Structure 1
């Protein structure tokens, strides 16, 4: 007969069913993944009063049964007594986020920094591993020390970084923890995040707070970039390189990040690091290499390049020479273009190319209008319309390009204050907090990965204006699309007039190929410019119609429409049919957290005031007081208005959730 642990006494308040099931309750806090429930586990909804009365002290603490816990503690048991696994009651309350029970234990003299468990860690360590920000805040309010090391030599900031609990990382730094704190082996939180977390957070947050990218650990001499290469963490590697990660740094074995990538057989990473090393080497050896390494020079090349490409493709066929000679002219131009693209273009210039193409297309189209088409336009009114539209287009483009779209600004003191306020009010969640800008995000805002800033009422980042489209410049962007569509349409109309005067085109007689031949024979340049004009008209007009539909009919931004599942304030729950006793809410309204099976999800914008008013609100039209646009400061609006009769109404953005974790 197998001998049982002497501590497994059914009459002992610390006895729990897992003594007979080989500790399957997951007492070891390793990991942070919640293990399966032990044999004999009873779902909370099915626990009867009789079951609760039979719970031992550990099980009652795990399930949050405050009355049963109080009953057993008041019977005279020491709140700091350790169970057979050397785990205290406060540990069990912390890992299961039982805030009321923690308050009760502390009132009974519980030691907040008591070490226990297989990893010899404190309740604060346990709560941190599980990602319970509420419990971390509560324990620290009772004096828990987050800088204490557990049996593995990690403090709480190391644990929160390696398990990806970004909100806890932010709170700990705001409470004064060193962003580059070293664990037993000399690893920083950034090293842990780079090695363990395959995502932007919390590495991005640590870098924003000034974490050292090139600091080396004591045991291996690895930098954060080494650790990211070991795990093939491409997302974090990109962050490290953008923040000045040293690709030449060698660890104690003499291995660089490239060497590690080769050992890990990571082909994509090897190619990327080798290209960076080659570029750095070339920058030291030649003038061309130095120019290619100069970001400002490369950006200027990217702006000028489309002007020459569009010109060459249209100009060479326009020459009065044989096609064989024209083909010969194309060859050096093609080689030169490839060399320029190879030396000066990379993914960092991707956002420059579209706006450069816009500038080039608009310039050569205007030249074509005045040089080729103007003589064939009989009505002076068309010239007036063209010039007026060109002026309005230039104005709206400039305003959409240069206007602050609604960037959210904050200094370090405000960021720390915001983190503390959100954490201590239990509203520090990543959907409402930017881990890069370290600010509370207003409703409808989003962090732009291109601009690397948060934008109020974010619509999208538009490469054609090289700027975000947000609260302050959305109406200019719509004006840009409208007047550009008109300009492109005028351009096509002018080309049609040109062809009508210069060549007789009969699609029935000549067919498509014959008609194209006649157009090319008259002027290859005009044909080429018209081809560009038609291409741009397709996407510009389509985008304009899509934008107006979203603005007027849906009252959504592009970001909200594409990510509508993420925004709870746009979720409207209703019953499919009337039911009795299935839901605590009415049949017309049901909360997202309700477990009623007879409900339906509908996406509805709470900002919709009707098609006309939505457009008026965007452009701010007044028209002698006949129109009254709604003015909203989207940089400081964090919640929906819930009062009856308010402009926007809907559910609160902050809704409490019961988070059960039985370990």
Structure 2
């Protein structure tokens, strides 16, 4: 973990240069994840970068991969991580969602509620119209919270140990190595070691390639909100979806009632005479229902997963995680499911929910592997 991967040799080659020369893609990936990305622009004494050296030595695909990785990291003057539009790049498609929600509410207010071509509002329709505006507004507040909240980032290895270490460098390194002395690694679960964050990830934690951080209870990265969905903001995300679903259903119902009342009042001709009126209301209903179907599917899915205490990532990749293959025949079985009520309380109050361990104590395969490894060490010492 303390290897000086930035130190060049007498030929100006860093470890990343030599991995590219040898065509070792796994070593290149490990070095890039460990922090060697800035070295993609470094040159040796001949003026060649790692990607150029890989192509020169016949490793064309590796060279192209390194060049694309460098381009993605730098991103140019405008869209790079330090470019003029870096903020817009980091928010992903979040501005689109804001524009869509605000646009739908505006269209609803002016072309459905306040449309002069329609009959006067009744009290129930007016009440439901206020429900639409209030729920959509509260949804935007929760969308902002989802985008800006910490999704559950796990501190880096050095950062997590800095609070408990002495000022000496030796003490810091000792505690850092001690933190990596994990039963999960002794049991052979090397996939839990994150070389980027320099930690042994707890169960249910995953490194997000977009944010480049390990996220506790990782669900997925949502480009529509511009943030990971994890333990820290999952409750905001689910509440946002259901509030917007209420707004979409109520607005569709109000719009259909208003259109129906206009037709019954024989005002169709007058509504269409000005080139607007009822046509805009029909357009709103079509757009509203289209968005409603997508939001409903996502809202129901997320609510179901919260009730079962399982994540999107776990359902999609359950065969990769040993802790989910705890059935008698290796079938899917979630050991973190504590019942619908308890699961919902944990999701609603994430600060009170315990962090998942790095290893399940009752996992027979991992326990047996750990015992054999310890026995082998004892035999070697004897």
Question: Separation in 1 of the partners of 2:366 and 2:66?
Answer: 31
Aligned-partner SS, 1:454:
strand
Structure with higher RCO (Cα < 8 A, 6+ apart)? 2
1:395, CA displacement in angstroms? 2.8
- Relative to structure 1, the CA distance from residue 408 to residue 421 in structure 2 (aligned partners, 3 Å threshold; closer, same or farther) is closer
Question: Separation in 2 of the partners of 1:458 and 1:496?
Answer: 40
**Conserved? CA contact 1:458–1:470, under 8 Å:** yes
Question: Separation in 2 of the partners of 1:537 and 1:200?
Answer: 45
In structure 1, which of residues 180, 184, 187 is the aligned counterpart of residue 13 of structure 2?
Answer: 187
**Conserved? CA contact 1:455–1:470, under 8 Å:** yes
The question of 1:612 aligning with 2:341 is answered yes
The question of 1:483 aligning with 2:203 is answered no
Question: Separation in 1 of the partners of 2:300 and 2:140?
Answer: 20
In structure 1, which of residues 370, 381, 399 is the aligned counterpart of residue 145 of structure 2?
Answer: 399
Pick the structure with greater CA Rg. Answer: 1
The answer for the alignment partner of 1:3 in structure 2 is none
**Conserved? CA contact 1:492–1:534, under 8 Å:** yes
The answer for the alignment partner of 1:562 in structure 2 is 316
1:390, CA displacement in angstroms? 2.6
Question: Separation in 1 of the partners of 2:144 and 2:236?
Answer: 9
- What TM-score do you get using the length of structure 1 for normalisation? 0.45
The question of 1:656 aligning with 2:369 is answered yes
- Relative to structure 1, the CA distance from residue 201 to residue 238 in structure 2 (aligned partners, 3 Å threshold; closer, same or farther) is same
1:562, CA displacement in angstroms? 0.8
- Relative to structure 1, the CA distance from residue 293 to residue 387 in structure 2 (aligned partners, 3 Å threshold; closer, same or farther) is closer
The question of 1:213 aligning with 2:213 is answered no
The answer for the alignment partner of 2:96 in structure 1 is 357
Aligned-partner SS, 2:236:
helix
1:550, CA displacement in angstroms? 1.9
Question: Separation in 2 of the partners of 1:238 and 1:385?
Answer: 49
In structure 1, which of residues 616, 624, 639 is the aligned counterpart of residue 359 of structure 2?
Answer: 639
**Conserved? CA contact 2:50–2:66, under 8 Å:** no
Counting only pairs closer than 5 Å after superposition, residues 468-547 of structure 1 correspond to structure 2 as 468-503=228-263, 522-547=277-302
1:423, CA displacement in angstroms? 5.9
1:608, CA displacement in angstroms? 0.7
Aligned-partner SS, 2:231:
coil
Aligned-partner SS, 1:468:
strand
Question: Separation in 1 of the partners of 2:131 and 2:26?
Answer: 54
**Conserved? CA contact 1:198–1:236, under 8 Å:** no
Counting only pairs closer than 5 Å after superposition, residues 366-445 of structure 1 correspond to structure 2 as 366-375=105-114, 377-378=121-122, 379=124, 380-410=126-156, 412=158, 414=161, 417-419=175-177, 421-422=179-180, 426-427=185-186, 430-445=190-205
Question: Separation in 2 of the partners of 1:402 and 1:360?
Answer: 18
The answer for the alignment partner of 1:236 in structure 2 is 66
1:568, CA displacement in angstroms? 0.9
Gap regions ≥5 residues in structure 2: 115-119, 162-171, 266-271, 374-382
Question: Separation in 1 of the partners of 2:208 and 2:127?
Answer: 43
Aligned-partner SS, 1:213:
helix
Aligned-partner SS, 2:294:
helix
1:227, CA displacement in angstroms? 3.2
